[in-house]
C-alpha cells in the first residue's frame, strides 16, 4: 500500500505490511470521523480529497471515485475553487481507467493553479504531466518533459523529484524497447536514491535492472541484480519480498540451465513464503520445482511438486498458475509417451486458460463501464458549472436587461442540452460497437480451442489422414471467421458456409456420431439478406455438446431451417438429443465446473444489435417430447429481422 507522503511511506515499509494496513485503516477512520463533524464546505472538500487518496492507495478505486465526485459536486455548487490535490487524485483515477490523455488534461488544470514559488509542488505536478504523456504514447514529449523536470528539480535541490524524473526516463526507454538507455538511467536512479539511503527505492532499482537484463536473456547480470534486491529485503526483514526476489533469482538460474542451484534457491524461497503463508509465492515455487524435476526426468518428484502447487493455486483461484502447471504436466506426459494423460492435462490447461481469458474480458468490460460513467459525470459537472456561472452573471445584470438575459440563457442552455444528448448518444453507440466486438472475439476462441485439441489428439494417434482433413477444414474455417469478424453483419451465405465447416469439424471430432441438415427457404436471398455475425453457431454447438453427445446411439441429427416471414428470418435449430433437463442433470452429476458462454454471449450481442439498429430479435426454446412423454430433443427458434 502506498500513502500520501513519502515519510509515512518509509515508516510503513520499515514497520512491515501489517502495520501499514493497520495505519491506513486508522487514518481512514479518523478522516471519516472528522468529515462527520465538519460544518464548512471547504473543509469537507479537503477531507474528501484525503479520503479519496487513502482509498485509491488501498486499491479501492470505486470508493475513491465516489469521494472525488462528491467533493467536485460541492466545489461546483458552492463556487469553491477546485483544490490542486483534488485535480491530482482525479488524474490518478482517470489513468487507472485507461484514460491517460484525460488525466494529462486534469494535471494541466492543476499546474495552472500552482504558485510559481511553490517549486516542490510544481516538480510533483510536472512529473505527473510527463507520466501521463508517456501513457498516452507521446514518447518524445514525455522525454522533453522529464528532462525539463530534471533540470528544475536539480536547480531547486529537490533530489526526490530528480530521482522520479530519472526513473521516468527509464520508463520511456522501456516503452520504446531501448534496453541500453533504460539500464543507464536505472544506474543513475540507483546512484541518486543511494545518496539519500532510501533502501526501498534502491532495492526497487536493482530489481528493475534484473528484469531488464532478463528480458534480453542476459542471465548473469540479471541474477546479480535480483540477488542485490534480495539482500536489501533481507536487511530490512521484508520476508514477503525476500521470497519474491529469490524466486526471480532461481528463475534466472533455471533459464541459465543451472538446475541444481535453481532447485536450492526455489526451496529457500519456498521456506520464506511458507513462513508468512504467502500462497502466491508458494504455488509459484512448487510449480517451478516440478518443472525442473521434469527436465531432470525425475518424474515422481515433479508430480509431487506439481500437485502441491495445484492444491495451493485452487485455494486462491490462481488460474494463471494452474494453466501453466497443467501445460507443463501435459508436456511431461508427452515426453513419457503417456499420450492419454498428456491430452487430459492439455485439456485442463485449456480450461483454466479459457477461465483466465474470461476473467480478463469481464474486467475489461467493467473498466469500460466505469470509464463511461466517469466521463458522463464529468460532462454533467461541466454543464452544472456552466449553469451556475450563467446564473451568477444574471445577478449582476442591469434590471432593464433581465428579461433579455433570461431568454439568451434559456437558448444557451437548450443548445447545450441538445449537444450533450447528442454526445451521450454517440458515446453509447461507440460503446455498444466496442462491446459487440469484444463479445465476438470472446466467442471465436471457444470452438477454436476445441478443434485444436482434436487436431492434437489425432496427431498423438499418428492418424495422418484425419489430421490433414481436420487441418484443411480448420484453415478454411479460420479464414471464414477472420473475414466475417471484420463486419457487424454478413450475408446469410457467409454465415452458412462457416456453419457447415464448423459442423464438418464437429462431426469428425465426434467420429460421425451425428449428422446434420441445413434447409433454406427459396425466398431468402443469401447474398442480399444479412444477419449478425456468428449468430447461429453457438446454438448448434449446444445441440451437439449438451444434446447429442449424451445419446447412447450414434443416430444424432441436427437440423437448421431458415424461412422468410415478411421482413423476418425464422431460424430453427432442432436436435434429437436427450433434452435440456437430462443434459443439466448429467452436467451436475459430472460436477463439471466449466461452462460454455457461447449462447449467453450471443444473447447479449442480440440486445446490443437491437439497440444499434432498432431491431427486435428474440429467441424461443422448446423441449420436444415423444408420445409417451419422454424427452426427444430441443428446438431453438431465433427471430431475426433482416439487416440491409
Task: Summarize pLDDT for 325-372 with one digit per residue, the tens.
Answer: 889 888 888 888 888 888 888 888 888 777 666 655 565 555 555 555
CATH number at residue 631: 3.30.565.10
User: Measured between alpha carbons, how far is 95 from 92 in angstroms, rounded to an integer?
Assistant: 5
Mean pLDDT to the nearest integer, 294-312: 91
Contacts 24+ apart (CB under 8 A), 521-526: 521/562, 521/563, 521/564, 523/564, 524/492, 524/562, 524/563, 524/564, 524/569, 526/491, 526/492, 526/493, 526/496
What pLDDT is stored for residue 17 in this prediction?
Answer: 38
The Cα–Cα gap between 240 and 247 comes to 11
pLDDT-based confidence at 1, cuts 50/70/90? very low
Residue 562 pLDDT exceeds 90: yes
- Of residues 472 and 23, more confidence is placed in 472
- Percent of the chain past pLDDT 70, that is, above it, reads 79
Least confident of 87-101, 277-291, 336-350: 87-101
Residue 19 resides in a domain: no
Domain termination site, one of 316, 350, 379: 316
Mean pLDDT across the chain:
79
Q: What is the pLDDT of residue 91?
A: 83
Task: Kindly report the CATH number assigned to the domain that includes residue 263.
Answer: 1.25.40.10
Confidence class for position 293, pLDDT limits 50, 70, 90: very high
CB 533 within 8 A of CB 484: yes
Nearest to 343 by CA among 327, 366, 321: 327
Pair 104, 132: CB distance under 8 Å: yes
Distance CA 641, CA 532 (A): 10
In a domain, 165, yes or no: no
Nearest 5°: the CA angle 99, 440, 442 is 80
Predicted confidence (pLDDT) per residue in 197-233, tens digit: 889 999 999 999 999 999 999 999 999 999 999 999 9
Please tell me which of 51-65, 170-184, 380-394, 439-453 the model is most confident about, judged by mean pLDDT. 170-184
Q: What is the pLDDT of residue 12?
A: 34
Name the band, by pLDDT with cuts 50, 70 and 90, for residue 166.
Answer: very high
User: Which domain covers residue 250, as residue numbers?
Assistant: 198-205+214-316
- Number of separate domains in the chain: 2
Q: Residues with Cβ < 8 Å from 117, sequence gap 6 or more? A: none
Specify the pTM. 0.52
Q: Which of 281, 316, 351 is the last residue of a domain?
A: 316
Q: Higher confidence at residue 243 or residue 444?
A: 243
Whether residue 61 has pLDDT greater than 50: yes
- With respect to residue 155, please indicate whether it lies within any of the assigned structural domains: no
Q: How far apart are the first and last CA of the chain?
A: 54
518-556 pLDDT per residue, tens: 999 988 888 888 887 777 888 888 888 888 877 777 788
> Which carries the bigger pLDDT value, residue 356 or residue 170?
170
The count of C-alpha atoms lying within 13 angstroms of the C-alpha of 104, restricted to the half-sphere facing its C-beta, is 17
**594: pLDDT strictly greater than 50:** no
In a domain, 358, yes or no: no
| Domain end among 316, 341, 370 | 316
Determine, yes or no, domain membership for 338.
Answer: no
Amino acid at each position: 500500500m502506498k500513502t500520501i507522503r513519502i515519510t509515512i511511506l518509509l515508516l510503513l515499509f520499515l514497520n512491515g505490511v501489517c502495520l501499514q494496513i493497520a495505519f491506513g485503516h486508522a487514518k481512514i477512520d479518523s478522516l471519516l470521523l472528522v468529515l462527520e463533524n465538519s460544518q464548512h464546505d471547504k473543509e469537507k472538500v479537503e477531507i474528501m480529497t484525503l479520503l479519496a487518496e487513502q482509498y485509491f492507495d488501498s486499491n479501492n478505486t470505486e470508493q475513491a471515485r465516489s469521494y472525488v465526485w462528491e467533493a467536485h459536486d460541492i466545489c461546483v455548487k458552492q463556487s469553491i475553487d477546485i483544490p490542486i490535490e483534488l485535480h491530482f487524485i482525479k488524474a490518478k483515477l482517470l489513468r487507472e481507467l485507461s484514460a491517460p490523455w484525460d488525466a494529462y488534461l486534469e494535471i494541466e488544470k492543476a499546474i495552472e493553479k500552482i504558485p510559481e514559488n511553490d517549486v516542490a509542488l510544481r516538480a510533483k505536478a510536472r512529473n505527473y504531466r510527463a507520466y501521463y504523456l508517456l501513457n498516452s504514447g507521446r514518447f518524445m514529449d514525455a522525454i522533453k518533459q522529464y528532462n525539463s523536470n530534471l533540470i528544475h528539480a536539480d536547480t531547486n535541490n529537490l533530489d526526490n523529484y530528480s530521482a522520479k524524473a530519472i526513473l521516468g526516463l527509464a520508463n520511456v526507454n522501456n516503452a520504446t524497447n531501448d534496453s541500453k538507455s533504460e539500464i543507464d538511467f536505472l544506474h543513475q536512479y540507483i546512484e541518486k536514491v543511494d545518496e539519500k539511503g532510501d533502501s526501498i527505492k534502491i532495492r526497487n532499482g536493482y530489481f528493475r535492472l534484473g528484469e531488464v537484463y532478463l528480458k534480453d536473456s542476459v542471465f548473469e547480470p540479471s541474477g546479480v541484480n535480483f540477488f542485490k534486491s534480495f539482500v536489501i529485503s533481507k536487511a530490512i526483514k521484508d520476508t514477503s519480498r525476500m521470497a519474491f526476489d529469490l524466486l526471480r533469482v532461481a528463475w534466472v538460474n533455471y533459464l541459465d540451465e543451472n538446475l541444481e542451484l535453481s532447485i536450492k534457491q526455489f526451496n529457500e524461497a519456498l521456506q520464506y513464503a511458507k513462513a508468512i503463508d504467502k500462497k502466491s509465492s508458494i504455488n509459484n515455487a512448487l510449480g517451478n520445482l516440478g518443472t525442473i524435476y521434469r527436465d531432470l526426468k525425475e518424474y515422481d518428484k515433479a508430480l509431487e511438486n506439481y500437485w502441491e502447487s495445484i492444491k495451493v493455486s485452487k485455494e486462491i483461484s490462481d488460474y494463471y498458475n494452474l494453466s501453466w502447471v497443467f501445460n507443463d504436466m501435459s508436456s511431461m506426459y508427452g515426453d513419457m509417451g503417456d499420450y492419454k494423460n498428456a491430452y487430459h492435462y492439455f485439456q485442463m490447461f485449456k480450461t483454466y486458460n479459457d477461465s483466465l481469458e474470461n476473467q480478463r474480458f469481464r474486467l475489461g468490460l467493467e473498466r469500460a463501464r466505469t470509464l463511461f460513467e466517469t466521463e458522463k459525470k464529468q460532462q454533467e459537472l461541466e454543464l452544472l458549472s456552466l449553469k451556475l456561472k450563467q446564473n451568477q452573471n444574471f445577478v449582476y445584470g442591469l434590471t432593464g436587461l433581465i428579461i433579455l438575459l433570461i431568454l439568451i440563457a434559456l437558448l444557451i442552455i437548450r443548445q447545450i442540452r441538445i449537444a450533450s444528448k447528442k454526445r451521450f448518444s454517440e458515446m453509447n453507440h461507440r460503446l455498444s460497437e466496442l462491446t459487440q466486438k469484444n463479445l465476438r472475439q470472446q466467442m471465436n476462441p471457444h470452438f477454436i480451442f476445441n478443434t485444436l485439441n482434436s487436431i492434437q489428439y489425432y496427431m498423438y494417434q499418428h492418424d495422418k489422414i484425419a489430421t490433414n482433413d481436420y487441418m484443411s477444414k480448420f484453415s478454411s474455417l479460420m479464414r471464414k471467421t477472420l473475414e466475417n469478424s471484420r463486419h457487424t453483419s454478413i450475408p446469410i451465405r457467409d454465415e452458412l458456409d462457416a456453419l457447415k465447416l464448423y459442423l464438418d469439424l464437429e462431426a469428425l471430432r465426434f467420429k460421425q456420431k451425428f449428422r446434420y441438415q441445413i434447409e433454406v427457404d427459396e425466398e431468402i436471398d443469401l447474398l442480399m439478406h444479412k444477419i449478425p455475425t456468428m449468430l447461429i453457431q453457438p446454438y448448434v454447438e449446444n445441440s451437439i455438446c449438451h444434446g447429442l453427445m449424451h445419446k447412447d446411439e450414434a443416430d444424432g441429427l441436427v437440423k437448421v431451417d431458415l424461412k422468410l416471414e415478411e421482413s423476418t428470418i425464422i431460424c430453427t435449430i432442432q436436435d434429437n438429443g436427450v433434452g435440456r433437463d437430462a443434459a443439466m442433470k448429467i452436467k451436475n452429476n459430472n460436477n463439471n465446473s466449466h461452462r460454455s458462454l457461447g449462447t449467453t454471449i450471443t444473447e447479449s450481442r442480440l440486445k446490443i444489435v437491437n439497440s444499434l439498429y432498432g431491431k427486435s430479435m428474440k429467441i424461443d426454446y422448446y423441449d420436444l417430447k415423444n408420445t409417451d412423454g419422454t424427452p426427444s430433443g430441443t428446438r431453438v427458434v431465433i427471430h431475426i429481422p433482416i439487416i440491409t
